[in-house]
A = this chain, B = another copy of it.
Amino acid sequence: MAEAERPERSRRRTLSKGRLEAFSDGVLAIAITLLVLDITVRPPGALSDVLKEWPAYLAYIVSFLTIGAVWLAHTTLTEVLARTDPILLRLNLLLLLAVSVLPFPTRMVADSLSLAPTGPERVAVTLYGLVLLAVRILLAGLFSYASRQGLLIEALARPDSEEVAAVRRKFTPTIIAYAATVAVGLLIPIVAVAVYFGIAIFVATPFRQVGRLFRRQRARAANE
């Protein structure tokens, strides 16, 4: 690594990690908040009119959780990132591109989703799934590139370290799940959206911590 030989330049690169975080936080925060614009277009009506818009709410929640999960994973990455390099900054821009495109297929799904599959719905759900898949692949690529190029903190510097392998183990199944669901969506779009919802919940849930929390509370209750 050329940077290792030039300490001053390396220090500068560390600064741009701050801007990488700030810019990513900005784009993710805006993309996640803009989603609501996709469900504010209809005039208000009776309760049944509001409930009839359930596809818009479902698409909103799935997209919100997905972007939220990207933010959580991005936070995890920058926590272990020691420095950036020009290619990492561009890979990150590609990830932000995929995330900020998300409101577009989200609105398509919101506008076309119904219990009986239609042509537009199939197109919308497939496009939506492909963007979700691209987001996940780019996120995995970011981790993978950073670990291969030795950009992570010293504790994780070796690409064959246990923690890096754990992260990789976590990405592969979701990528496979997204790819499979895109195929399902070509047949039964509504099922695919339900699965995307499930994956988003699954990815965003910190099972280990919640489990620990419950065990601790049970232990506390038993002591009393």
Contacts and interface: CB of A to CB of B under 8 A. Distances in A.
A138 interface: no
Given A12-B80, A21-B22, A206-B86, A34 B32 contact: no
Interface residues of A, number: 70
Interface stretch (A120-128, A165-173, A174-182, A190-198): A120-128
B79 A46 contact: no
A78 to B, nearest CB: 7
Given A44-B123, A46-B123, A29 B36 contact: no
A47 interface: yes
Interface of A: 8, 12-13, 15-16, 18-19, 21-23, 25-40, 43-47, 49-50, 60, 64, 68, 71-72, 75, 78-80, 85-87, 89-90, 93, 96-97, 100-101, 103-104, 107-108, 111-112, 119-120, 123-124, 127, 155, 204-206, 209-210, 213
